[in-house]
Amino acid sequence: MAETNGNYNVIGTRPVRHDGVDKVTGRAIYGVDAHMPGMLWGQVLRSPHAHARILSIDTSRAEALEGVHAVMTAADLPDPGAGVAEANESGLQSKRYKSASLMARDKVLFEGHPIAAVAATNRHVAEEALELIDVEYELLPVVLDVREAMQPDAPLLLDDLHMDTGGELADEPSNIASRTIHEEGDIEAGFAAADRVFEGEYTMSMVHQGYIEPHNALAYWSADGHLRVECSSQGQFGIRSELADHLQWPISKINVFPSEIGGGFGGKTTIYLEPLAAVLSRKSGRPVKLTMSRSDILRATGPAPGGYAWVKIGITNEGRITAAQAMFAFEAGGYPGSAVGAACLCAFGPYKLTDFRIDGYDVVVNMPKSHAYRAPGAPQGEFAVDSLVDEICEEMGFDRLEFRAMNASEEGDLRANGTRYHCIGNHEVIEAARTSDHWRSAIGSAPGRQRGRGIASGFWMNGGGMSTAVAQLNADGTVTLREGSVDIGGTRTSVAMQAAETLGIPVEDVDPIVPDTDSIAFTGVTGGSRVTFATGWAAIEAARDLKQQMIDGLADHWDVASESIAADEDGTFRQNGETVSFKEAAGILDGDDLRLVGSATVVPEGSGNTFAIHIADVDVDLETGKVDVVRYTAIQDAGTAIYPPYVEGQMEGGVAQGIGWALTEEYVYDDEGHMRNVSLLDYRMPTTLDVPMIESIIVEVPNPGHPYGARGVGEVPIVPPLAAITNAIADATGARMRDLPASPPKVQAAIAALDSD
Amino acid sequence: MATEILSGKVHVNTTINGESTDFLAEPRESLLEVLRETLGLTGAKEGCNDGNCGACNVIMDGRLVNSCCVLAVEASGADVTTIEGIAGPSGLHPLQEKFLEHAALQCGVCTPGFLVSAKAMLDENPNPTEDEVRWWLAGNLCRCTGYDKIVRAVLDAAASMRGEG
């Protein structure tokens, strides 16, 4: 059972993070900074077409260029076999499709699809070599819209793709990779019991995670067959297993070094450049480094899917939901595997449902293969559901928070996947919203603008999975903590804090290190909001193991039974009137020639779902349609907040990404499938001028499934902003924005349409 | 051949973080490329290579620049400050201290650019308002923090440097 809030020595405090000084002085080595002696630079030739058959590739002129050491194409990648592999947070993915997405074999399916790669003495020579590769294409018709792609006469991307419905394959191929259905109760009876039934249709653009550090890989394939890869990723073990699949090479001969990572948000949980760098290294006999340009990142990595949503909700006059139905069709990109499944599972998460049906379609289109982006699928789903909820409240005159309180999912209620909620903080979050300064404050006004307030809810499942930690006692009483999770934003410290708490020592006396795959046992991806929960738990168990070994060692030293030694919360050990501090104990054990290492690999379940409510005030310029977010409050259950400044940081960062998703970020394509906004000037992420100070309210409903009550926190903050902001626009202007982003031209048009009604 | 002209190397003498520095650069190489690849100063990051993210910002002759948009040969005779030159021998710069204290970084890859931009601002304006801080830092993209803690850290550092902290 979880211990209750507060009364911890380390947990809940605000220490400076262990990697902080390196990161504010420019000393931290990120993947893009990696270097090896004799290193070559690689570049990737990419398709200028979104859908085409490759008729021929001739690399001979590039190979002849001085300074070029190796050229590769898909012919250099082995067949990974017919199986599927876990694509972190994106479900299962066909290995053959993944291989074809790494480098096109017979067809290109999106603009930027890799065709060939070159390694040369420097990046400029490599770039010149790309221009000497001759490729002949036969252009094919392009399909970009999910609803068009689902039509029987749509151009087919993959002629071996048959819609999978619960394991049953359709006879004819189509662009629909799968259909998932979640159904409970009797929706017809549920809708019949409603006094009113509301429906809405929603569309949204593909959006990118927008991490600032480009993808990168430095590989050295030694003559003895050992492959060393250094790259920034959200999990060195996932990179290793994908490399093993796509190079058909044993994992024992692949060592992946996790460098510092400059943002990922789900987008760095898979391989792009790593196998190409490896093959180029094998062919050249030299280390090879590849990095991506920003335009390649936007065009050809794994954004979050856009798509189509339809929602239907039945309501009684008292405001109770009687039945709910939804259909989501998401842009998987060129190969199957969008986050539509999670959208289905999360969209109605904040609400109590008994009779529902949710259908999800995973649809291939000539866009980059989508991948995980922070709470994958949930923001899109919640945007649709909470837009309709807002409309219901407006039409029927319900208070938006009271409606949520009345219909809130709670312990024992059914989830979309057919399981039931355990201890959750949904009501506590609603209550914290109700008592927040923001909710109780007047909306105010701005001259020449229309101001409005919107709220929306959010739900995320949170992940568990396998994690490893190793706690090594040093002679001076400090502890070196090896932990397997890549630290993407402060988790070295949130994990070390849990070890420190368990050992009763200051967190400054714990030195957390994230090792390579040869140096620690398996640990899952840094994703699913799992690190502080699962790797933290591994650190707790490793610390407990170490503590017991210290007790046993002291028992030998004092020649007493281990059971007679008490270990206090402040790290002291006592027996029969004698007390030694943790540091003194370490000295005694060192003097006895004991070298103690505690370790643990855990696979915790019970990660505990999390809920959020966001409140947004916006000003709308009626003339231009520009929307400014002027006040924002994020409320969220974090379970026990292990490392509060970084819980707040997750909330604030999720809000900013959500503001971009709601208002400015989109994939703009021409009819031939060329992305037209491939720079960070035109793919418009929020700047300091687009985001206000963000009020973060942490609600702590300890998770009974974790020793200190932690829940995952990183993902749910991106779920509510989309609808919170569009609901605020509706409140300000009366215009309902059902197509994201709510960019100025669309807002202006929606307001104009109201005037003409 | 255009390529031969482009790859002919030019001798450049410049001052980097107070130290006289010589390097050879191809005319097509950016200052960022030379800092990172030739001089090993990898604190400045390449986030976009077209002046939109600010991760590569350095101060050149008192002016904040995107080092990806400056040719290395243009640094001839210039005085360049990079993130590696912000901390003094006796310890961190107040901006660095406040970034740590306020948890104003998550992944940290944009942090060098923000610190250099903030330093350039404080060199000019030691008493900025929140709006002025936001205006100065609008050329730096951060995808992790939502900027809240960054803006607070810069305001707090400014106050502490004025002796008010």
For A547, residues 6+ apart whose C-beta sits below 8 A from its C-beta are A502, A503, A567, A598
Looking at per-residue confidence, does A6 or A177 come out higher? A177
Residue A509 and residue A453 share a domain: no
Residue A426 and residue A512 share a domain: no
Residue A562 and residue A546 share a domain: yes
The whole-model pTM stands at 0.97
Euclidean distance between CA atoms B75 and A489, whole angstroms: 34
Q: Does any CB of chain B come closer than 8 Å to the CB of residue A210? A: yes
Give the sheet arrangement for strand A107-108, strand by strand. Answer: A107-108, A52-58, A134-139
Euclidean distance between CA atoms A510 and A469, whole angstroms: 13
Residue A225 and residue A83 share a domain: yes
In a domain, A468, yes or no: yes
Residue A485 and residue A446 share a domain: no
Residue in A496, A192, A158 with CA at minimum distance from that of residue A323: A192
Looking at per-residue confidence, does A455 or B89 come out higher? A455
Q: Does any CB of chain A come closer than 8 Å to the CB of residue B150? A: yes
Residue A485 and residue A370 share a domain: no
In a domain, A431, yes or no: yes
pLDDT at B8: 85
CB contact under 8 A, A648 and B28: no
In a domain, A7, yes or no: no
Strand pairing class (A107-108; A739-740): unpaired
Q: What are phi and psi of A461, to 5 degrees?
A: -75, -45
Hey, what are A449's tokens? 């603008």
Q: Selecting from 1.20.950.20, 1.10.260.40, 1.10.150.120, 3.40.50.300, what CATH number does the domain B94-161 have?
A: 1.10.150.120
Q: Does any CB of chain A come closer than 8 Å to the CB of residue B132? A: no
Q: What is the pLDDT of residues A490-526, one digit of tens each?
A: 999 999 999 999 999 999 999 999 999 999 999 999 9
In a domain, A15, yes or no: no
Q: What is the pLDDT of residues A575-618, one digit of tens each?
A: 988 999 999 999 999 999 999 999 999 999 988 999 999 999 99
Task: Report how far apart the first and last C-alpha atoms of chain A are (Å, whole number).
Answer: 59
Q: How confident is the model at residue A88 (pLDDT cuts 50, 70, 90)?
A: low
ipTM of the complex: 0.97
Q: What are phi and psi of B83, to 5 degrees?
A: -55, -30
List the domain boundaries for chain B: 2-84, 94-161
Residue A125 and residue A41 share a domain: yes
Q: What is the pLDDT of residues A190-232, one digit of tens each?
A: 999 999 999 999 999 999 999 999 999 999 999 999 999 999 9
Architecture of domain B2-84: Roll (3.10)
The boundaries of the domain holding residue A613 are 307-462+608-756
Residue A639 and residue A738 share a domain: yes
In a domain, A456, yes or no: yes
Q: Which helix (H) or strand (E) holds A120?
A: strand A114-120
Q: Which helix (H) or strand (E) holds B62?
A: none
Residue in A346, A333, A336, A280 with CA at minimum distance from that of residue A302: A333
Q: What are phi and psi of A627, to 5 degrees?
A: -115, 130
Q: Domain count of chain A?
A: 3
Euclidean distance between CA atoms A99 and A755, whole angstroms: 52
Q: Which chain B residues contact residue A488 at CB under 8 A? A: 106-107
Euclidean distance between CA atoms A122 and A133, whole angstroms: 17
Instruction: Please indicate whether the domains covering B2-84 and B94-161 agree at the CATH topology level.
Output: no
Q: What is the pLDDT of residues A375-398, one digit of tens each?
A: 999 999 999 999 999 999 999 999
Residue in A531, A536, A476, A466 with CA at minimum distance from that of residue A502: A536
* CATH number for the domain that contains residue A511: 3.30.365.10
Q: What is the mean pLDDT of residues A633-637?
A: 98
Residue A592 and residue A576 share a domain: yes
Euclidean distance between CA atoms B43 and B80, whole angstroms: 13
In a domain, A184, yes or no: no
Q: Which of B80, B90, B107 to mutate to test the interface with A (most CBs of A within 10 A)?
A: B107
Q: Please answer whether residues A147 and A175 qualify as being in contact, where contact means their C-beta atoms are separated by less than 8 angstroms.
A: no
Option in A16, A689, A693 nearest B100 (CB): A16
In a domain, A165, yes or no: no
Residue A613 and residue A590 share a domain: no
Q: Is A111 exposed, middle or buried (0-12, 13-18, 19+ CB in 10 A)?
A: buried
Q: Is the model's pLDDT at A93 over the cut of 90?
A: no
pLDDT at A7: 77
Option in A20, A214, A649 nearest B100 (CB): A20
Q: How far is B164 from chain A (nearest CA, A)?
A: 22
* CATH number for the domain that contains residue A117: 3.90.1170.50
Q: Is the model's pLDDT at B28 over the cut of 60?
A: yes
Q: Does any CB of chain A come closer than 8 Å to the CB of residue B79? A: no
Which residue is it, tokens 């190409």? A276
Euclidean distance between CA atoms A581 and B80, whole angstroms: 50
Residue A615 and residue A598 share a domain: no
Residue A283 and residue A339 share a domain: no
CB contact under 8 A, A212 and B83: no
| Average pLDDT score over chain A | 96
In a domain, A167, yes or no: no
A-facing residues of B in 10-69 (CB < 8 A) are 26, 28, 36, 40-50, 52-53, 55
